[in-house]
Amino acid sequence: MNSLVSPDNATFFRLPTFYISGLYNMPHARYYYIFLCFVYVVTVLGNSFIMGTIYLARTLHTAKYIAVFNLALSDLGGSSAIIPKYAYMFLLENQYMSYEECLASMFFVFLFMAVQSLTLLALSFDRVIAICFPLRYHAIVTKSIMTLIIGVMWAFSVTIIAFTVALITRLSFCRSTTVDSYFCDHGPVFKLACNDNSLNFKMAFVYIAIVLCLPLILITVSYVCIGLALLKISHGAERIKAMKTCTSHLILVALFYLPVFSIYMSTFTTYLHPNTRIINTVLTQTIPPMLNPIIYTLKTEEVLHSVKVLYKRIKVNFAIEDPVKSIAKN
């Protein structure tokens, strides 16, 4: 344990390492970590497929799919920040992490979670303009506007998460080194401090309010507006068609927010065994990124059509290349 002297002559303790507890006395926990590795592989393949499809298909070079690409990128980043490092740690039972590694891990985990939440809000903005103001959609939701929104989102997320993590450095750790979580979680880390951590506690609530609650409220308001707009559509077929364009986004919103808020609500209202909390939280942060590309591929006609076009283009290219190669050999 490193001790420093602060300007007011108070001793300041900084831990060289934290111990990440993970699952406690749980039989066959190794299989759970192996399952997470499988989840990660599917997440990487699925999100890379979506990103590659959007990049290669010119029909998907629109404002909406800039946001979808960003969601896939943040899903990939979020899973990469959680699963590989921690699955490796727990499988090898080497659960110590340096102070600097812990803060870096905390930053990236919460950064990508913030970007995921704000990207879902950006996608709701796209849907509400498309349905409530269809004639002005292409004038309002342009590629430059969506790129600006995504850029502001990243800048805001980096700023608030960097400030939240930086506040950890003012804490003195002189008691336990054990973090009761599966990663360097913000709450379990700052609760280990033996000096005043009230500012960290307030920042945790600010993070929840701005990054999780506010986007969900705005998404809810946007769908109330969409619902009112759909009631004004006289033809049932047009109403159903408009509703179908929202189904993928609604599923993504439910997958992201419902598990997160159920964890927070159950934590505040009832006692949860640490293992139960850890399993639910890690699944909340890893399963949606795995399912998102599957939902967008199967539920969105534009993506399905683009995949079919790309597949046919690849087949044609192979059909042309084979005779050329045989002629070259002869």
Q: What's 122's domain CATH number?
A: 1.20.1070.10
Whether 330 is in a domain gets the answer no
Of the listed ranges 24-28, 51-55, 123-127, 186-190, the least confidently predicted one is 24-28
pLDDT of residue 123 exceeding 90, the answer is: yes
293-318 average pLDDT score: 78
The residue-averaged pLDDT of 311-323 equals 69
* pLDDT higher than 50, residue 106: yes
Does the pLDDT value for residue 45 go beyond 70?
yes
Averaged pLDDT, 35-63: 91
Report yes or no on 250 lying in a domain: yes
Tell whether 313 is covered by a domain. Answer: no
Of 20-29, 41-50, 183-192, 287-296, where does mean pLDDT reach its minimum?
A: 20-29
Tell me whether residue 327 is in a domain.
Answer: no
Whole-structure pTM value:
0.87
Q: Which domain holds residue 251?
A: 19-302
Residues 308-325, mean pLDDT to the nearest whole number: 70
Asked, for residue 187, whether it belongs to a domain, the answer is: yes
Instruction: Write out pLDDT tens, residues 205-227.
Output: 999 999 999 999 999 999 999 88
Q: Tell me what the mean pLDDT of segment 2-9 comes to.
A: 48
pLDDT in tens, 129-180: 988 888 899 999 999 999 999 999 999 999 999 999 999 998 888 877 888 8
Q: Has residue 240 got a pLDDT over 80?
A: no
315 domain residue, yes or no: no
- The answer on pLDDT for 316 being more than 80 is no
For residue 304, give Cα distances in angstroms to 226, 245, 295, 298: 25, 13, 11, 7
- Quote the percentage of the chain above a pLDDT of 90: 38
Instruction: Give 16 or 54, the one with higher predicted confidence.
Output: 54
Q: Is 177 a domain residue?
A: yes
The count of domains in the chain is: 1
Residue 95 has pLDDT above 90, yes or no: no
Share the mean pLDDT of the chain.
Answer: 84
Confidence of residue 299 (pLDDT cuts 50, 70, 90): confident
For residue 324, pLDDT over 60 is answered with no
Any domain includes 241: yes
pLDDT value of position 183: 86
